[in-house]
A and B are shown apart, each in its own frame.
Chain A
Amino acid sequence: MFGLLDSGFQFFTWGNALMIIIGCILITLAIAKNMEPLLLLPIGFSIILVNLPLGGLMDYEYKLRAQNPGIVKEIVLEKRTAFETGSTIIKTDAEELASPVYGRVKEFKVKENQTVEAGDVVAVIITTAQTDQSKIPTEPVGLLSRFFAFGIMWQILPPLIFLCLGALTDFGPMLANPKTLLLGAAAQFGVYFAFFLAIFFGFSLPEASSIGIIGGAEGPTTIYVTARLAPHIIGATAVACYSYMALVPLILPPVVRLLTTKKERGIYMKPQLRKVSKLEKIIFPILTAIVVILFVPDSAPLIGSFMIGNLFRESGVVERLSKTSQTAFIDIMTIFLTLAIGGTMSAENFLRLDTLKILVLGVVAFASAAAAGVLLAKTMNLFLKNKINPMIGAAGVSAVPMSARVIQVLGQKENKSNFLLMHAMGPNVAGAIGAAIAGGVFIGILG
C-alpha cells in the first residue's frame, strides 16, 4: 500500500477463495441448519481467517541452516515470495539449500559472498505447514498456531474436553444393562475397517490410524490420535469427524434399514431399566480407569480425564467442579480447540486429493461402525431370552448423545410405545470408551 505496507491481495490465490467459500458453508450450516453450531461456526470463521494472506495467524517460523561451510553464491528467491516444498532458497559454493516446507522467506540472515559455517541460520522461513517436530522443528508465531502448538500438539485440549464430557456423561443406562458394552465394542469395527481401507488408498500406517479413528465418532479422540501420529492431516480428520457427527441423522437410518427387518425394528424393550445405586456409579469410573490404563497405558490421558470428570459428577461432593466442567470450562476449551483446528485448514494444507480421500473414508468408517453394532445386536438376539432391538447397536457409533437420539426417533416410527433412548445410551457411552481405548492402542503401537 503506497509502497509502505504489503497488502494480502498480491498473495491471494484461488485456493484461498475456495477455502473461504468452504468456511462460509460451515458457518451457514451452523446458523441456518443448526448443525453442530458450537463446533462448525468457530471452525468456519477460523478457516476464513487463515486464508487471508499475510494475516499470520497460523504461521510457524522455520530456520533454514547451512549444512556445510561455504560462501554464499546466490540468493535465489526474493523476500516474501511464496515457494513450494523443496524449493532452493540459497546456493553456496558447497551446496544448494532447499526448504523442507512450503512458505515464504521472512528474512535472509546472510548476504551474497558472505562466508557461512555449518549450522548457521541463513534464512527465516514462514510456513503454515504442520510438520513432524522431530524432523522439521518449527516455532509457532501466530495466535492460532500457538493455540494449536500448545493446546493440541502438547495434548492438553483433547483430554480436558474429555474431562468435561465425563462430567456430562451418565453411565447409568450402561451400568443397568452392561451387555450393551459389547455393542460399543462392535462399533469399533468401523475404526479398523477404515484403517485397513486407508492403507489400500495409499496412506501410511500412522495416517491410516488417524483416519480409522474417525469411526469412533469422538472429536477429541480423533484430534488426540491425529496430533500424536499424523499432525499434517489433522484439519481433514477433525472436520470429517465433526461433520459426520452432525450428519449422524442422515448416515445411521439407511444403514439400520438395510440391515434390519421391519419386525426387528419393532422389537419392544421395556423402558424401565434397573436402578443403579450411587455407590456403583462412584466405583465405576475408578475401576474403569485402573483396568483400562493398566492394559492400555497410552489411553491414560483420555480415559483418565473422562473418568475423573465422571467422578466429579457422581461423587456429589464437588458440585462446583462438576458444574464448571459441564458449562464454562467445556465452552472455553471448545473455543481454543475449534479455532486451532480451523487454523490448520489453509489452502496449501487442505486442498489436496488426500483430503477428499479422508472425507470418503470417514463416512465409510461411520457407516461400517453402525453396521457392525447392528449385526452384533442381531447375533446376540440368537442367544438372548429377552430380545434387544438391534437398532440400538447402531448407537455404538459414539457421537453422544446424537446417535442415541436418532435410534429413539427410528424406534418411535416403528412402534409408538417403544422408548429406546435409555437403551441406546448404553452402547453410546460404551462407544466413547471403546474409541478412547482404540486410540490408545494405535498410539501404543505406532506412537
Chain B
Amino acid sequence: MDIGLALKIALGGFSMVFFLLILLWFTVWATKVVTEKITKTKS
C-alpha cells in the first residue's frame, strides 16, 4: 500500500474541504453585503 499517496489524499482532501468552506464563508458574507445594499437602494 502506498502510504505516501494515502497521506496526499488525506491532507489534500481535508485542505480542499476547509478551503471550500472558508470560500463559502466569504460568499455568505459577500451575499449579505450585496443584499443589504439592494434592500437599502430599494427603500
Contacts and interface: CB of A to CB of B under 8 A. Distances in A.
A195 B10 contact: yes
B25 A291 contact: no
Given A195-B10, A208-B6, A291 B35 contact: no
Interface string B1-26: 10101110111111011101111110
B8 to A, nearest CB: 9
B14 A189 contact: yes
B27 A182 contact: no
Contacts of A175: 28, 31-32
Interface residues of A, number: 40
B31 A284 contact: yes
A2 B6 CA distance: 58
B17 A445 contact: no
Given A205-B5, A205-B9, A434 B17 contact: yes
A297 to B, nearest CB: 12
A291 B20 CA distance: 8
Interface in A387-441: 430, 433-434, 437-438, 441
A284 B28 contact: yes
A249 to B, nearest CB: 26
A280 B18 contact: no
Contacts of A280: 28, 31-32, 35
Given A178-B28, A208-B6, A296-B20, A192 B35 contact: no
A215 B20 CA distance: 18
Interface string A262-282: 000000000000000101100
- The winner among A185, A196, A277, A438 for most chain B CB atoms within 10 A is A185
Nearest to A198: B6
Contacts of B5: 205
From B24, B25, B38, name the one whose CB has the most chain A CB atoms within 10 angstroms.
B24
B16 A287 contact: no
Contacts of B7: 196
Interface size class of B (residues with CB under 8 A): 20 to 34
Contacts of A437: 16-17, 20-21
A442 interface: yes
Contacts of A189: 14
B10 A438 contact: no
Nearest to B21: A185
B4 to A, nearest CB: 11
A11 interface: no
B36 to A, nearest CB: 8
B16 to A, nearest CB: 5
Contacts of B11: 192
A296 B3 CA distance: 24
B24 A291 contact: yes
B16 A296 contact: yes
A433 B13 contact: no
Contacts of B22: 181-182, 185
A347 to B, nearest CB: 29
Contacts of B3: 199
A288 B24 contact: yes
A291 B27 contact: yes
A445 B9 contact: yes
A136 interface: no
Contacts of A433: 21, 24
A188 B27 contact: no
B18 A185 contact: yes
A150 interface: no
B28 to A, nearest CB: 4
A175 B26 CA distance: 11
B21 A196 contact: no
Contact of B25 (A178, A188, A205): A178
18 contacts: A178-B28, A182-B21, A185-B22, A186-B18, A189-B14, A192-B11, A192-B13, A196-B6, A204-B1, A205-B5, A205-B6, A209-B9, A279-B39, A283-B34, A291-B24, A292-B24, A438-B13, A438-B17
The 4 closest A-B pairs by CB, nearest first: A185-B21, A178-B28, A192-B10, A441-B13
